[in-house]
Amino acid sequence: MASSDRPRTESVQSTTGSTVYSVEDAGTVTVAFDGTALNLVDSAAAAGWTVSVNSVLATEIEVDFVSSDRHLRFNAEIEDGAVRVRVVIGADHAGLELKGHLVAELRRLGHEPVDLGTHSAEPVDYPPICADVGRAVVTGTADRGIVLGGSGQGEQIAANKVHGVRAALCNDLYTARLSREHNDANVLAMGGRIVAAGLASEILELWLATPFEGGRHARRVAQIADIEHQQQEQ
């Protein structure tokens, strides 16, 4: 009997106005909001999985992915006329100002930010905050994560210690795009002492909107996950 799990999902806004959800390694679901109702555009199962549509309502779509030992139930919902992405965000004191800016940007874009702190300019150690962001992403509590510091480098390293996190340091648009297209990054790191607010907004929007290309890149991302699994077994 397959066990029922809440899937870890990632979602990006496509150029056609639809939203493509990657449901772990099980497949993808594409939905679109036409101003009145949420519509299922497409669903596709990966090898070893089957996909079935459980229900389609005006405000919610439910899709099941089933393998020999797992059952993942995906839900897409609309709120205030838009498909929302839950993004968990954390920063140390050096990233505090940029965090406030990006929280406002996420709300402007119609997404749901979850702020894990810090909430003051007092010096604080970043590793626990970044680990909490990573854990929220890999457990499915959030769709994506953001970690911020002075340069973003330590924050990226700390987040990547959580198995299942693929954190990318993106202080420019080029690396932001490639981190999604080639690496399927699920956590974005930026440096508050490096990136100005305007560029940070562009990086955020591009990073959320860029889909993973899959193909040969999926094989390489799977190899990274295999390394994590090998470490766990030692």
pLDDT for the residue numbered 233: 76
pLDDT for the residue numbered 2: 42
Please check the confidence at residue 223 and state whether its pLDDT lies above 60.
yes
Domains in the chain: ranges and CATH: 3-83 (no CATH), 86-209 (3.40.1400.10)
Report the share of the chain in percent with pLDDT over 70: 85
Residue 98: strand, helix, or coil: helix
Most confident range, picked from 7-21, 42-56, 171-185: 171-185
Please check the confidence at residue 101 and state whether its pLDDT lies above 60.
yes
Written as six digits, the tokens of 16 are 């056609």
pLDDT per residue as tens digits for the range 110-164? 788 999 999 999 999 999 999 999 999 988 888 899 999 999 999 999 999 999 9
C-alpha 18/C-alpha 33 separation (Å) is 7
What is the mean pLDDT of the segment spanning 213-225? 87
Distance between start and end Cα atoms, the chain = 29
pLDDT for the residue numbered 57: 66
What is the largest distance, in Å, between two alpha-carbon atoms of the chain? 52
pLDDT for the residue numbered 204: 95
pLDDT for the residue numbered 35: 56
Instruction: Give residues with Cβ within 8 angstroms of 32, minimum separation 6.
Output: 16, 17, 18, 19, 38, 39, 41
Number of H helices, E strands in the chain: 6, 14
pLDDT per residue as tens digits for the range 23-61? 777 888 888 766 556 778 888 888 889 988 876 766 677
C-alpha 229/C-alpha 173 separation (Å) is 31
What is the mean pLDDT of the segment spanning 172-197? 96
The residues assigned a catalytic role are 155, 182
C-alpha 215/C-alpha 183 separation (Å) is 11
- What is the pLDDT confidence band of residue 1, given thresholds at 50, 70 and 90? very low
Please check the confidence at residue 81 and state whether its pLDDT lies above 60.
no
C-alpha 132/C-alpha 90 separation (Å) is 8
Mean pLDDT of the chain: 85
